Amino acid sequence: MKTGWNVAEVIEVTQETRTARTLRLRLPGLAGHRAGQHVDVRLSAPDGYTAVRSYSVASASPGDELDLTVEELADGEVSPYLVRQVAVGDQLEVRGPVGGWFVWDPADPSPVQLIAGGSGVVPLMAMLRAHTAAAGSASPGGAAPFRLLYSVRGPDAVYYGAELDDLARLPLVDVTVVYTREAPAGSNEPPRRLDAATLVRSTLPAADNPAVFVCGATAFVETVADWLVQAGHSPARIKTERYGGTGTRP
Amino acid sequence: MTGDLDDLDYLDGNAAAGPLSEFFAIDVVSARGRCAHCGRTDALATARVYPNSHGLLLRCPGCTEILLRLVDAGDRVCLDLQGLSFVELRRH
Amino acid sequence: MGIVSPGFFGRPRRDDPGLPPGQYLTEGFPVLSAGPTPRIDPDEWEFTITTETGQVHRWSWTEFLALKQDDVSTDIHCVTSWSKLGTSWRGVSLDTLFESVESDCEFTMAHSYGGYTTNVPLDDLLGGKAWIAHEFDGEALEPAHGGPARLLVPHLYFWKSAKWVRGLEMLRQDEPGFWESNGYHMYGDPWREERYW
Ligand SMILES: Cc1cc2nc3c(=O)[nH]c(=O)nc-3n(C[C@H](O)[C@H](O)[C@H](O)COP(=O)(O)OP(=O)(O)OC[C@H]3O[C@@H](n4cnc5c(N)ncnc54)[C@H](O)[C@@H]3O)c2cc1C
Ligand SMILES: [Zn+2]
């Protein structure tokens, strides 16, 4: 872990969707991080005003590089800057990666259920990537079943689409995407909000005692965590990461 | 679900990991802490963070009392731990 | 101070004579959430002023509404950098509430439902400078904004305008309240940018 504020350089930017962008940062001296961690990003205006926001790390590489994926909120202060203005070669102040709680440990052999709402897929993607890396090593977690349930507005709001398709073909990985507003072209399932029954149908049963990670806007996380407990999951097995924004329930 | 939407305006204790990392050499949100008010003892990551306040507040999910508060005054950071009567760290 | 982020200016700030230094203008009314919102039934609500002798002056909701009501138009300035100009409130002036109160103290501590406290010198509460407000923009004050009633001391940073206020305690010496004991300024004048100690 690197402590305090450090300067990272933006080395690559990729448009993820119409409203989201992935920034690849190089943070000199960083030697990897744990899947699920986040960094705090600090922006400073010329008059000394600063704004700090947290962003999960999407990548799971061992070196000094980190991918962040940021969703632009139309009336936001920080996200529009990160999505539209930051360019390759710019410097950003970051603190972390931090957070040792909402992390997946490759030494843990438990089955894993990931549940994402919108941009909440970011740290869960790091866990999927770390799982793939662990599957190629002797880590017990590499042999664990991994499931992702991803609730998203529509097909063009999906992050990491091609990579998720590839991951879904792996024997231990299962990916379910629920489209809430707009279904993919040619799909015969209409768009619908995630509900408790769909959640139970498309996740690992409580009887398997999976480690569950839920991430997304606060209202989404709150509702999903309630449903999981009602479905018999032990609250101690459910780890949550609320992103803020109280407006959107599943 | 109880309460109004504005009562939901909190994050998980994990979101306080960055600010607290300036005080603690280890990841303190994974440490177990005891609420000085009701005695509930659990990982600080399971507490509630209110980040949009005048400072950062960590509240007990059991009794909603304040476990810790942190104010970033720019050139100084102030941390009040009155609401925590005990903290247990795990060595890895 | 760290590196400047090229092209980042934060919320647009402009030179407006009504804006104290470092503040930006907002049209909305941001809620700074510090915890669950207390829900207080007006039937159980009361407001008290407690003097150094232990004497308690007490108003029920009905008694409070029967007092002389003021309509107040004023600017408010939050220490987290937003200001809102020309807000309208209705409430009871602290001058009215203090008419019957005998005290030699120069300082007060405001106490709120939910446990919040903030210190304000008595001088800053009297002379038409402060109210216990129960209406905002012609409507009953919402719980999220401090309803049923909040202290309104608009010439100081807004954290001094305690939401869900339930009483004032007279103090011989100034003592720090909730935020003042953890980094925030004892007085909080926005024009002198008294944000932190
Ligand atoms: C631990 C952690 C990890 C995070 N990781 C990511 C990430 O990987 N990618 C990412 O895009 N964001 C992430 N977030 C959210 C991020 O920190 C910011 O809150 C978000 O980018 C909005 O900042 P802003 O300055 O643009 O908006 P602000 O100016 O802060 O807010 C603008 C408006 O949007 C609302 N709002 C704030 N946050 C959200 C939200 N998450 N959803 C909906 N409405 C909201 C506010 O209430 C306000 O009305 C994470 C948050 C946390 C706590
Ligand atoms: Zn408690």
Give the per-residue pLDDT at C69: 98
Which residue among A17, A21, A25, A79 has the greatest number of ligand 1 atoms within 8 angstroms of its CB, and so is best to mutate? A79
Residue C123 has pLDDT above 70, yes or no: yes
Q: Whose CA is nearest to atom 46 of ligand 1?
A: A245
CATH of domain C21-27+45-89+105-192: 3.90.420.10
SS3 C113: coil
Do B49 and B10 form a contact (C-beta atoms < 8 A)? yes
Residue C187 has pLDDT above 50, yes or no: yes
Residue C2 has pLDDT above 80, yes or no: no
Rounded to whole angstroms, how far apart are CA atoms A225 and A240? 8
Rounded to whole angstroms, how far apart are CA atoms B63 and B41? 12
Residue B52 has pLDDT above 80, yes or no: no
Q: Using 50, 70 and 90 to split pLDDT, how confident is the model at B2?
A: very low
Reading the block at residue A208, the tokens are: 């398997």
- Domain boundaries along the sequence of chain B: 11-88
SS3 A23: strand
Which of C8, C27, C32 should be substituted to probe chain A, the one whose Cβ sees the most A Cβ atoms within 10 Å? Answer: C8
Give the per-residue pLDDT at A246: 60
Give how far the C-alpha of residue C196 lies from the chain's centroid of Cα atoms, to the nearest Å.
17
Give the per-residue pLDDT at C18: 84
Q: Using 50, 70 and 90 to split pLDDT, how confident is the model at A1?
A: low
Reading the block at residue A55, the tokens are: 């962003």
Does the Cβ of B11 fall within 6 Å of ligand 1?
yes
What's the mean pLDDT in A223-231? 96
Name the residue facing A96 among B1, B13, B21 (closest C-beta). B21
Third-level CATH fold of A112-242 = Rossmann fold (3.40.50)
Residue B4 has pLDDT above 70, yes or no: no
Q: Provide the total of helices (H) and of strands (E) in chain C, helices listed first.
A: 2, 11
Give the per-residue pLDDT at B5: 47
Per-residue pLDDT reduced to its tens digit, C61-74: 999 999 999 999 99
What's the mean pLDDT in A206-211? 97
Per-residue pLDDT reduced to its tens digit, A85-126: 999 999 999 999 999 999 999 999 999 999 999 999 999 999
- Domain boundaries along the sequence of chain A: 5-98, 112-242
Per-residue pLDDT reduced to its tens digit, A15-31: 999 999 999 999 999 99
Does the Cβ of A124 fall within 6 Å of ligand 1?
no
Counting beta carbons within 10 angstroms of the beta carbon of residue A228, is it exposed (0 to 12), middle (13 to 18) or buried (19 or more)? buried
Contacts of B37 (CB under 8 A, 6+ apart): B60, B63, B65, B83
Do B72 and A50 form a contact (C-beta atoms < 8 A)? no
Supply the Cα-derived Rg of chain A in whole angstroms: 18
Rounded to whole angstroms, how far apart are CA atoms B13 and A124? 18
Instruction: Tell me which residue of A196, A207, A249 sits closest to A232, measured CA to CA.
Output: A207
Q: In chain C, which residues have their Cβ closer than 8 Å to the Cβ of A5?
A: 2
Q: Using 50, 70 and 90 to split pLDDT, how confident is the model at B7?
A: low
Q: Using 50, 70 and 90 to split pLDDT, how confident is the model at B48?
A: very high
Instruction: Tell me which residue of A203, A215, A207, A206 sits closest to A245, measured CA to CA.
Output: A215
- What is the overall mean pLDDT for chain C? 94
Per-residue pLDDT reduced to its tens digit, C177-186: 999 999 999 9
Percent of chain A with pLDDT over 70: 97
- Domain boundaries along the sequence of chain C: 21-27+45-89+105-192
Higher pLDDT, residue C27 or A173: A173
Per-residue pLDDT reduced to its tens digit, A156-195: 999 999 999 999 999 999 999 999 999 999 888 899 999 9
Cβ–Cβ gap B78/C182 under 8 Å = yes
Give the per-residue pLDDT at B92: 66
Do A107 and A131 form a contact (C-beta atoms < 8 A)? no
Give the per-residue pLDDT at C36: 86
Residue A147 has pLDDT above 90, yes or no: yes
Give the per-residue pLDDT at A250: 56
Percent of chain A with pLDDT over 90: 88
Percent of chain B with pLDDT over 70: 89
Give the per-residue pLDDT at C11: 78
Counting beta carbons within 10 angstroms of the beta carbon of residue C15, is it exposed (0 to 12), middle (13 to 18) or buried (19 or more)? exposed
Domain A5-98: CATH superfamily, name plus number: Translation factors (2.40.30.10)
Give the per-residue pLDDT at B1: 29
Q: What's the number of CA atoms in the CB half-sphere (13 Å) around residue A89?
A: 1
Per-residue pLDDT reduced to its tens digit, C146-161: 999 999 999 999 999 9
Q: Provide the total of helices (H) and of strands (E) in chain B, helices listed first.
A: 1, 8
What's the mean pLDDT in C39-48? 95
ipTM score of complex: 0.90
Which residue among A16, A49, A55 has the greatest number of ligand 1 atoms within 8 angstroms of its CB, and so is best to mutate? A55
Does the Cβ of B15 fall within 6 Å of ligand 1?
yes
* Chain A residue closest in CA terms to B32: A101
Give the per-residue pLDDT at C197: 81
Do A54 and A241 form a contact (C-beta atoms < 8 A)? no
Q: Which ligand is nearest to the CA of B62?
A: 2
How many beta-carbon pairs under 8 angstroms link A with C? 44
